[in-house]
């Protein structure tokens, strides 16, 4: 009877030792994974931390370009109007003062 109890206790001890070894290995893997994730977070933070400032600068540049574009569109519209007036004047001139063919 004592041999059976000692055998069962030894078997239980070996099973628990194996479970402890597996938990210890899992802890090492989780530690490595945690360290890798911390490193990835630090790298991404370093990479993306200037992004808000860059976005603000880009927004300001886009606003400035739109303002410049509006001014240029107004100038283009004025030039088109001047060209139209000159074209009408040229047609009128040719109609009113036709060339005389020799």
pLDDT tens profile 33-81 = 999 999 999 999 998 998 999 999 999 999 999 999 999 999 999 999 9
The Cα–Cα gap between 88 and 24 comes to: 92
Task: Give residue limits of the domains in the chain.
Answer: 1-51, 52-101
End-to-end CA distance of the chain: 142
The Cα–Cα gap between 84 and 76 comes to: 12
Tell me if residue 102 falls in helix, strand or coil: coil
The Cα–Cα gap between 21 and 66 comes to: 66
Question: Looking only at Cα atoms, what is the longest distance across the chain?
Answer: 142
| pLDDT of the residue at 93 | 86
Q: Is the pTM of this model over 0.85?
A: no
């Amino acid at each position: 009877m004592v041999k059976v109890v000692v055998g069962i206790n030894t078997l239980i001890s070996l099973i628990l030792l194996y479970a402890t070894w597996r938990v210890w290995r899992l802890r090492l893997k989780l530690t490595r994974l945690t360290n890798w994730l911390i490193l990835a977070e630090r790298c991404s933070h370093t990479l993306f931390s200037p992004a808000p400032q860059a976005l603000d600068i880009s927004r300001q540049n886009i606003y400035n370009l739109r303002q410049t574009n509006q001014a240029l569109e107004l100038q283009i519209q004025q030039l088109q109007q001047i060209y139209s007036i000159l074209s009408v004047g040229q047609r009128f001139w040719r109609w009113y003062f036709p060339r005389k063919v020799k």
